[in-house]
């Protein structure tokens, strides 16, 4: 049985602060961040000068729109011009205690970041909003299913757990089987994992003859790294497999920590940590500001990362902001309805219909028989785009594919303006499994 989680605030002063006070606080911090960037980071000074922006022009929060955006592309170019970190450090690299980088997939140079002792206090503290807000306390045993490398992943979560006084278990390079044994042996109460890996652990446990819902003490799961943590059908699968409550969170290497979290009320969205960030939503094409209820690209300004200022950074995340009153927890922090919905550039156009991988996942996960899936886009006869969902079925559901393929195809079409999806059966174990950042869409049209 899944028990209710306690309501708690890591920083009640700010989490319950009236919006007008919160915005006054944001403006105060924004001015200091921008002034420091202008005076200490040659990259930012040049950028601001070229845009005709001076820090003293920040008279109200609306003036943030005077500041030029920063993109990942120009950050990477800056690092190539001035290796290794670009001309954007605000203090001596001698003060850095940590180096992290993005994965550098597709042969691209990874984005590199440095942080100091102070910065890491802040990084771990941001996880406190999520952990405390979801009911994690010093009596918990937190198991971090994560490889502990240069990718920042759950590093901040690890230090937050220590800060909370919880028993913190680093699973490092263990196998899934080894992790399951340790989760049971130590009586872990909380798991940190990507949504995909939380499901994968449940699959492996089942193959080992273990029912995590009955045999483990896990009652809370902190999800991060993929949109699935806020996809209702995926979350329901995870919660059922573990008999635990699951919370979505999201962060990024560029900011060093998480930026949004789901509270114990599980409102179907994630609160933005607005006393430490300014999050804007813009139209990805025009750059114009969007309001509540409008889907667009998330743009973040961090008050915490000091070594490398992060100001109006275009994240590429697709979001829809709603007011804090959408949740009953009492926080005044705005939310992203449905969490991070995907990537702005994840959207694929198939025969005139927009398709998001997270929307496909939400439908596929409604089918209990499906163990794993993959979406493939192909171009037939040089002109006609096709979308095919390959599914692996759970062992006891093998004979159900004919009926499932019809029902799944119908559900996918209904969810996508009648677009025809092909559904095919994949051999068991043939589709890739992921620990971090699942990639379930292959666009063969681009090859």
Partner 1 sequence: MAGIDLIGRKLTPVEEQALVLYNELKAFLSMPDLPPCAQSNARVALAAVWQIVNDLDLDFEYIYEYGV
Contact set with partner 1 (CB under 8 A): 11, 13-14, 21, 24-25, 28-29, 32, 36, 90-92, 95, 116-118, 120-122, 125, 275, 303-304, 306
Q: How many residues does the chain have?
A: 447
Q: Angle, nearest 10°, between helix axes 19-40 and 42-50?
A: 110
| Distance of alpha carbon 163 from the chain centroid | 22
Residues forming a β-bridge with 215:
none
- Written as one string, the DSSP assignment of 194-217 is -HHHHHHHHHHHHHTT--HHHH--
Whether 284 contacts 296, CB under 8 Å? yes
Question: What is the DSSP secondary structure assignment for residue 22, as one 8-state letter?
Answer: H
For residue 365, which of 300, 412, 303 has the smallest C-alpha distance? Answer: 412
- Written as one string, the DSSP assignment of 89-132 is -SS-GGG--EEEE---GGGPPPPEEEE-HHHHHHHHHHHHHHHH
Residue 77 three-state SS: helix
Is residue 108 exposed (0-12), middle (13-18) or buried (19+ Cβ within 10 Å)?
exposed
Residue 374 three-state SS: strand
């Amino acid at each position: 049985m899944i028990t209710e989680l306690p309501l708690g605030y890591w920083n009640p002063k700010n989490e319950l602060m009236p919006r007008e006070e919160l915005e006054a606080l944001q403006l105060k911090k924004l001015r200091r961040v921008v002034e420091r960037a202008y005076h200490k980071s040659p990259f930012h000074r040049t950028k601001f000068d070229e845009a005709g922006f001076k820090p003293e022009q920040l008279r109200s929060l609306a003036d943030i729109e005077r500041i030029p955006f920063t993109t990942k592309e120009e950050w990477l170019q800056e690092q190539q011009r001035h290796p290794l970190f670009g001309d954007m450090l605000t203090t001596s690299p001698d003060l850095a205690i940590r180096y992290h980088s993005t994965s550098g997939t597709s042969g691209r140079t990874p984005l590199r970041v440095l942080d100091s002792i102070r910065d890491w206090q802040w990084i771990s503290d941001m996880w406190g909003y999520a952990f405390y807000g979801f009911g994690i306390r010093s009596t918990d045993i937190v198991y971090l299913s994560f490889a502990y490398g240069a990718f920042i992943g759950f590093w901040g979560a690890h230090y937050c757990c220590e800060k909370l006084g919880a028993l913190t278990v680093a699973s490092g390079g263990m196998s899934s089987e080894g992790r399951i044994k340790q989760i049971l042996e130590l009586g872990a109460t909380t798991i940190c994992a990507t949504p995909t890996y939380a499901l994968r652990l449940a699959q492996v446990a089942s193959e080992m003859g273990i029912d995590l819902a009955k045999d483990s003490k896990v009652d809370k799961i902190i999800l991060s790294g993929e949109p699935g943590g806020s996809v209702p059908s995926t979350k329901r699968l995870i919660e059922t497999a573990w008999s635990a409550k699951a919370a979505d969170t999201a962060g990024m290497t560029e900011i060093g920590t998480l930026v949004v979290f789901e509270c114990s009320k599980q409102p179907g969205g994630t609160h933005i940590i607005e006393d430490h960030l300014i999050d804007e939503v813009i139209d990805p094409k025009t750059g114009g500001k969007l309001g509540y209820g409008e889907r667009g690209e998330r743009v973040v300004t961090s008050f915490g990362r000091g070594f490398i200022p992060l100001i109006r950074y275009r994240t590429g995340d697709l979001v829809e902001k709603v007011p804090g009153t959408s949740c009953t927890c009492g926080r005044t922090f705005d939310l992203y309805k449905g969490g991070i919905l995907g990537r702005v550039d994840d959207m694929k156009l198939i025969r005139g219909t927009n398709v998001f991988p997270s929307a496909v996942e939400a439908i596929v996960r409604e089918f209990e028989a499906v163990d794993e899936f993959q979406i493939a886009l192909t171009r037939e006869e040089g002109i006609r785009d096709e979308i095919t969902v390959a599914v692996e079925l759970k062992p006891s559901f093998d004979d159900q594919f004919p009926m499932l393929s019809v029902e799944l195809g119908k559900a996918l079409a209904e969810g996508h303006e009648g677009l025809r999806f092909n559904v095919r059966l994949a051999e068991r174990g043939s589709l890739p499994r992921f620990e971090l950042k699942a990639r379930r869409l292959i666009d063969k049209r681009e090859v």
